[in-house]
Copies of this chain bind each other. A is one copy, B any other.
Amino acid sequence: MTAVRETYRHGDLRQALLTEGLLLAREGGPSAVVLREATRRAGVSPNAAYRHFRDRAALLGAVSDAAQGCAADRIQQELDAVPVGDDRAAQSRLALRAVGTGYIAFAQEEPGLFHAAFSVPGDLSQAFSASKAGRNGLSPFQQLAQALDGMASSGALDPARRPGMEFLAWSAVHGLAMLVIDGPLRGLTEEIILSTRERLLDMVERGI
């Protein structure tokens, strides 16, 4: 990435800037996504970025999308680990827990990317769209919605309570993630964090 190129054209500068931006976000969160540093790492002059992004905010938005894709991948990893069984209701509950667990794990493992993905305002409003999808083609919000749909159709969740349920679940899990990486739970033993997470997921799973 930092290599000096010999051609005048870069090839795929847009992708390169996105990659470098994602690395910067990983190291220092959204505020570390600095346009000049990204171009520097891509071996290009600062203004070259403007051929591919209207301004810094646009770059940050694209990085945020990519970071949401990373989150989706981490969640999928958790979903894949759910054992298959006969009891559809029980399994759909496990899927919901897997989404929450993956979300929080992503926050703990990649706090910089997590903030880039979910603390950059303006993008979240369209977060239900598929544009920020991971390898599975689903955005984190779609993964959540899908898990809730499974619960509703298998009897694990009263279908009358299904509408709007993703807001409740997302609120709870997102709040906990923030608490764990920035708040009073930061630095606590993994054990305490785990038990808090399980209690919260119990709460969400039971619904209301």
**Does residue A164 face the partner (Cβ distance < 8 Å to B)?**
yes
Point out the residue from B168, B173, B187 that lies within 8 Å of A196, measured CB to CB. B168
A168-B200 in contact (CB<8A): yes
> Within the complex, what minimum Cβ distance (angstroms) separates A194 from chain B?
12
- With beta carbons under 8 angstroms apart, the residue of B128, B179, B202 that contacts A170 is B179
In the complex with contacts A124-B182, A171-B175, A184-B125, A199-B208 CB distance below 8 A: yes
Q: Are B185 and A167 in contact (CB under 8 A)?
A: yes
Kindly list chain B residues whose C-beta atoms are within 8 Å of the C-beta of A186.
Answer: 125
Contacts of A11 in B (CB 8 A): none
CA distance A182 to B164 in the complex (A): 17
* A32 interface hit (Cβ, 8 Å): no
Of residues 76 through 133 on chain A, the ones whose CB sits less than 8 Å from some CB of chain B are: 119, 121-122, 124-125, 127-128
A184 to B125, CA, bound (A): 4
The CA of A124 and the CA of B202, in the complex, are separated in Å by 25
A171 touching B182 by the CB < 8 A rule?
Answer: no
The interface bits of chain A over 196-208 (1 if a CB of B lies within 8 angstroms of the residue's CB, else 0) are: 1001101110111
Is B164 in contact with A195, judged by CB distance below 8 angstroms?
yes
Complex Cα gap A54–B178 (Å): 27
Q: Say whether A183 faces chain B, with CB atoms less than 8 Å apart.
A: yes
**Looking at A141, A175, A179, A182, which has the most chain B CB atoms within 10 Å of its CB?**
A175
Pick from B128, B164, B196: contact of A167, CB under 8 Å: B196
The smallest beta-carbon distance between A172 and chain B, in angstroms, is 5
> Which B residues lie within 8 Å of A124 (CB)?
182-184
The 10 closest A-B pairs by CB, nearest first: A175-B175, A171-B175, A171-B176, A121-B182, A174-B175, A124-B183, A203-B208, A172-B172, A202-B208, A167-B196
